[in-house]
Amino acid sequence: MAENSMDTPVEAQADKKMSTIAVLGIFLVVGLVAFVMMNSSQVGQKNDLEALPEAAVTEESLVPNEEEVGEATEEGTMEKEQNTLQEIAIEGGNYYYKPDKLSVNLGDTVRITFSSVDMPHDFNIDELNVHSEILENDSAVIEFIADQVGEFEFYCSVGQHRQLGMIGTLTVNE
C-alpha cells in the first residue's frame, strides 16, 4: 500500500507549531547573541581606556610649567610663586644611568628626557609613581611633581638590570 504524501490536518497543525517554535527559538538566540556582543563591545571600550599608558593624561601633565601660581595671604593679596621646572637628560645604557644622582626641590616639576642607547631599558621611581615605557634606542619624556622629601631609588625593571647595577638616586630637598 502506498503512503499518502498529504499530511492529515493534525500533522499539518503540528508542523506549523514546530515551525513557529523554531522561528521563535532562532529569534531568541539571535537576540541573545546581539545582546552579549553589544555588552562585550562596551566592556572592551572600557578596557581599552584602562589600558592607556599612565603618562597619557596624568595629574602632573595638567600642571602649568614655569607659570606664576598665586596664593592668597591673610590680607587677601596674592603672593606670587614660581613653579620651578627642572629639565634633566638621563642616558640609560649597558646597566648604568648617566647621571645616576639627581637633586631637585620639593614642589618642582621634573621633566626627564630618558634615552635608551643600546638595549631595552626603562626608568622607574616607585615611591613617586614614576614609570616610563620600555625603550630601545629611543627617547621619552617623563614628567612629574616632586611631592615628597627624601631619597628615592630609580631603576630599570627590564630583566636583571636593576640587580646588575642599573640604579640611581633622586634626592628631593625641602
Grid cell for residue 147: 611631592
Q: Report the CATH fold assignment for 66-173.
A: Immunoglobulin-like (2.60.40)
3-class secondary structure, 101 = strand
pLDDT digits (tens, 9 = 90+) for 89-145: 999 999 999 999 999 999 999 999 999 999 999 999 999 999 999 999 999 999 999
Q: Answer yes or no: are the C-beta atoms of 136 and 119 closer than 8 Å.
A: yes
Q: Output the pLDDT for position 75.
A: 44
For the four alpha carbons of 86, 127, 134 and 123, in that order, the dihedral sign comes to positive
Q: Output the pLDDT for position 25.
A: 78
Say yes or no to pLDDT of 153 above 50.
yes
Report d(CA 147, CA 107) in Å as an integer. Answer: 5
Q: Output the pLDDT for position 82.
A: 53
The model's pTM is: 0.54
Q: Answer yes or no: are the C-beta atoms of 122 and 105 closer than 8 Å.
A: no
Residue type present at position 55: A
Confidence of residue 31 (pLDDT cuts 50, 70, 90): confident
